[in-house]
Chain A
Amino acid sequence: MSTGTPRRFHIAVASGKGGTGKTTVAIGMARTIGETQLLDADAEEPNIHLFFPVQWDKETPVQRLIPEVNFDRCTYCGRCASTCQFNALVVFGQKLLFFEELCHGCGACSLVCPEKAVTEKPRRIGVIRGPVQWGRTLLWEARLEVGEASGTQLIREMKHIIRQDLPAVIDAAPGASCPVMEAIKGSDYCLLVTEPTPFGLSDLQIAVEAVRELGVPLGVVINRSTGEDHLIDEFCAQAQLPILARIPFNRAAAEAYSRGQHPVDAVPGFAEIFAGLWRALQAQLEVQLQKEGFRA
Chain B
Amino acid sequence: MRDIAITATAPALDAEVDARFGRASYFILISAENPADWEAAANPALSAGGGAGVAAGQFLASKGVKALLTGNVGPNAFSVLQAAGIAVFPVNGQTVREAYQNYLKNSLSRTAQPTKAADHLH
Contact = CB atoms under 8 A, between A and B. Distances in A.
A103 to B, nearest CB: 9
A53 B50 CA distance: 38
A85 B47 CA distance: 11
Contacts of B36: none
Main secondary structure of the interface of B (DSSP, over half): helix
Nearest to B61: A92
Contacts of B45: 87
Given A92-B61, A149-B121, A102 B51 contact: yes
Given A97-B83, A101-B121, A90 B50 contact: no
Contact of A99 (B49, B51, B61): B51
B43 to A, nearest CB: 13
Contacts of A87: 45, 48, 50-52, 54-55, 58
B79 interface: yes
A95 B83 CA distance: 7
Interface residues of B toward A: which range?
A: 20 to 34
A102 B76 contact: yes
Interface residues of A, number: 17
Contact of B54 (A85, A90, A149): A90
A149 B122 contact: yes
A78 B111 CA distance: 28
Given A102-B76, A150-B122, 12 more contacts: A87-B50, A87-B51, A88-B51, A90-B61, A90-B83, A92-B84, A97-B83, A99-B54, A101-B121, A147-B121, A149-B50, A149-B122
Interface of B: 45, 48-52, 54-55, 57-58, 61-62, 76, 79-80, 83-84, 118, 121-122
